Amino acid sequence: MESTQIAKKILIVDDEKDLRDAMSMALGYEGFETIVAADGKEGLIRALVEKPDLVFLDILMPVMDGIEMLKLLRKDPWGKTVPVIVMTAIDSMDKIAEVIEQGGNEYLPKSRTTLGAIVQKAKERLNA
Amino acid sequence: MHDFFVSKKIAFEAIGVWCVLTGMYVFVTRTLDIDVSFAFHVSISISIVLLSLLVYQSLRASMNARFLAQSMVKDALLYSHELFTEVYQAGPVPYVLVDVNGTVESLNRAAMRLFKTSEEVCKGTNIFDAVESENTVRIGLCREYLKQGIAVNDEEVRVMQVGGTHRWVMLSIFSFTDSARTQKGLMTFVDITKQKQVDAAKTEFVSLASHQLRTPLTTMKWNMELLHSTNPNAFTGEQQELYGRVMQGLVRMDLLVTDFLNASRFELGTLTVDRTQFDLTTFVYELMQDHRAHAEERQIQIEEVWGERPYLIYSDLKLLTMILGNLLSNAVKYTRDGGHVRLEVMREAEWVIFKVIDTGIGIPPDEHEQIFSKIFRASNARAQVAEGTGLGLYIVREAVTVLGGTISFVSQIGVGTTFTVALPNEPFTRML
């Protein structure tokens, strides 16, 4: 990514600090600007305030889970169209149907996905 | 036989008495010069009387012996009946006596405790109204077996107690014909609730441990990847090899944790089925991509073949991934370098048929029955590939069952194996 271009902004919402840090670092190396949130409530606020170009969203989180955040995000005029990639753990694979219903654009099984694949997905979605 | 010997003895005694009397007669008549005809009559009369006495006593003894024997048999029978009643009533195993339809005729004290009821309340009700199974077909089969007089052994069911609680039991049914030639069934219920609770606790532990292991595993994998991607040229050849080994170990551990978690979820019944309609072409393409790299490393040709193409499928994505993912993974794992693996997908009426065909090592015929058991690996598979939990095909069968499908296979040692999975796809058919 050229340094003259405005960096695309990606929001990472995950309650696991180690995972969101690793994602943030990998996406940062590729020139993306990343913002992070530890739960759905914080994620929703950061999304509506910062208006990122893409959201990586975990499902099982304290305070507010990913599905609830997605539901509320899609009610917002801006939030209606922002691409959201849902990161599912095997424990929340059952929620895929609900994720699609609530407007998730894509889902990735977290434990089976490499960081390289996540970066690749971000590039595809943002045409970067 | 006894009577015969008694009669023989009597005959001998009678002859003995006769000889003595005859001797006496000869002696007396000769020494005392008594009238022979008078003496003869007297001796004959005495002989008859004595003989009659002997016969009478023998008959009486014989009758006494017979009476005694009969009385002993009666006592034995009575004792046996009392013993049976006592064992039936006071035995620790719950017994229920039913007719061919399952109507309760009697139940012992242990059964009353199990059902938390009394014989008066239970008598006349149908036992199957108080028995449940996760698989309702099994209860239907038990009913049918009882009617036909076929034994039922160790069927795992739940009995509903008065008050709404339940206990897990192993149900066995033994059919017999009573003295009135009426077919009955004796049901035994062995309480396995504690065993089930221990099993559930173990499974929950495995589930929890697997769940907790997942995040640190992903953290390790991602950070190793970061370490490598940020300094790709800084790694020496040896470091590169060590990095590869760590990553391989992490991937294997992830697969193990996934298998344990999936198996425990099936056992705990916490796995829900969420059917959605999705594009089968994309799904199969992505699935094949996951296995292609591994296959190509070993020059295994991997391909997909479509029959009448069902573009859309109405099924559970995660369960279908488990089914085909495990079958393809096994096919690649157990096929020798340079072999072939093929996935065939076709539609047959309201079913989607998947066939995973390999030219692998095959499954030994004597191990065919165990292949879907938990923690079982075929002997030649263990010899060929060290890694493997023995949970893959168990998970596949459970997932197929949950989706209402069927699975079968044909296999020949050294030639290969074909697994056929048929899954219902009814809404799709309606959509057409």
What phi and psi values does residue B152 have, to the nearest 5 degrees?
-115, 130
A-B contacts at Cβ under 8 angstroms: 65
Q: A88: nearest CA in chain B?
A: B318
Nearest CA-CA distance, residue B397 and chain A, Å: 19
Nearest CA-CA distance, residue A51 and chain B, Å: 27
Pairing of strands B152-160, B131-132: antiparallel
As a whole number, the mean pLDDT across chain B is 83
Query: Which of B215, B254, B317 shows the shortest C-beta gap to A96?
Result: B317
Residue A7 in contact with partner chain B when CB distance is under 8 A? no
Residue of higher predicted confidence among B304 and A107: B304
pLDDT tens profile B97-151: 999 999 999 999 999 999 888 888 888 999 998 888 877 777 888 889 999 988 9
Average the pLDDT over B47-57 and give the result: 81
**Residues B315, B278: Cα–Cα separation, whole Å:** 8
Contacts of residue A20, defined as CB under 8 A and 6 or more positions apart, other chains included, come to: A12, A13, A14, A36, A38
**Residues B346, B351: Cα–Cα separation, whole Å:** 9
Residue of higher predicted confidence among B16 and B157: B157
Residue A41 in contact with partner chain B when CB distance is under 8 A? no
Q: What is the pLDDT of residue A126?
A: 87
Which string of DSSP letters, residue by residue, matches B385-432? -S---S-HHHHHHHHHHHTT-EEEEEEETTTEEEEEEEEE-HHHHHH-
Q: Report whether pLDDT(B289) > 80.
A: yes
pTM for the whole structure: 0.56
- Chain A residues with CB under 8 Å of B223 CB are 18, 22
Residue A19 in contact with partner chain B when CB distance is under 8 A? yes
Q: Report whether pLDDT(B96) > 60.
A: yes
pLDDT cut 90: percent of chain B above it: 17
Reported as a pLDDT band with limits 50, 70 and 90, residue B213 is: confident
| A39 in Cβ contact with A61 (< 8 Å) | yes
Mutation site for B-interface testing, chosen from A112, A114, A118 by largest number of B Cβ within 10 Å: A112
By CB atoms closer than 10 A (0-12, 13-18, 19+), residue B233 is: exposed
pLDDT tens profile B37-49: 776 777 777 777 8
Sheet with B351-358: strands ordered across: B301-306, B340-348, B351-358, B416-424, B406-412
Query: Which of B211, B218, B230 shows the shortest C-beta gap to A110?
Result: B218
Query: Which of B215, B225, B229 shows the shortest C-beta gap to A19?
Result: B215
Q: A89: nearest CA in chain B?
A: B214
Pairing of strands A106-109, A84-88: parallel
Lowest mean pLDDT among B30-34, B54-58, B76-80: B30-34
pLDDT tens profile B326-385: 999 889 988 988 899 999 998 887 889 999 999 988 888 888 888 888 777 777 777 777
Distances from the Cα of B386 to the Cαs of B81, B210, B260, B341, B381, in angstroms?
60, 21, 18, 21, 8
Reported as a pLDDT band with limits 50, 70 and 90, residue B429 is: very low
Reported as a pLDDT band with limits 50, 70 and 90, residue B432 is: very low
Q: What is the pLDDT of residue B430?
A: 39
pLDDT tens profile B172-187: 999 998 888 889 999 9
- Chain A residues with CB under 8 Å of B282 CB are none
pLDDT in tens, chain A (128 residues): 444 567 899 999 998 888 999 999 999 988 999 999 999 999 999 999 999 999 999 888 888 888 889 999 999 999 988 999 988 775 555 666 677 777 777 888 787 788 888 999 899 888 86
- Chain A residues with CB under 8 Å of B232 CB are none
Q: What is the pLDDT of residue B400?
A: 92
